[in-house]
Amino acid sequence: MAKIGLRMLSLVKLTKMAQSGSPPHPLAKDLPLIFLGEIPNMPDHGVFIGHKTGRAYVGYHIADFEELGPGEI
């Protein structure tokens, strides 16, 4: 399993949002997300739950996220 910088059950945000002029990222309307953990047989990919909808997002690159800071919660 890869080393990851996110703690399980932490609130996270995307660090790589869509470029201007491109369609919005599919997760943009459901941020922040709750990080559930890395998929063991799919290293560097995680399972996330949308904070607003409860929808599950599976297989996104963990490196594209970071934990919310104290002022963002």
> For residue 70, what are the CA distances in angstroms to 11, 19, 20, 60, 73?
11, 26, 28, 24, 6
Residue 18 lies in a domain: yes
Tell whether 46 is covered by a domain.
yes
- Whether 1 is covered by a domain: the verdict is no
31 in Cβ contact with 15 (< 8 Å) = no
Domain count, the chain: 1
The rounded distance, in Å, linking the Cα atoms of 17 and 71 is 20
For tokens 């909808």, name the residue. 53
Of 18-27, 31-40, 51-60, give the lowest mean pLDDT range: 18-27
So what's the pLDDT on residue 16?
Answer: 74
- Would 23 be classed as within a structural domain? yes
- Radius of gyration (C-alpha) of the chain in whole angstroms: 12
Q: If DSSP codes are grouped into helix, strand and coil, which group holds residue 72? A: helix
What pLDDT does 27 receive? Answer: 86
Mean pLDDT over residues 28-42, rounded?
A: 94
Residue 3 lies in a domain: no
Tens digits of per-residue pLDDT, 21-34? Answer: 667 778 888 999 99
Task: Determine what percent of the chain is predicted with pLDDT higher than 90.
Answer: 71
6 is a domain residue: no
Query: The tokens of 39 are what?
Result: 């998929």
In a domain, 52, yes or no: yes
- Provide the domain limits for residue 20: 11-72
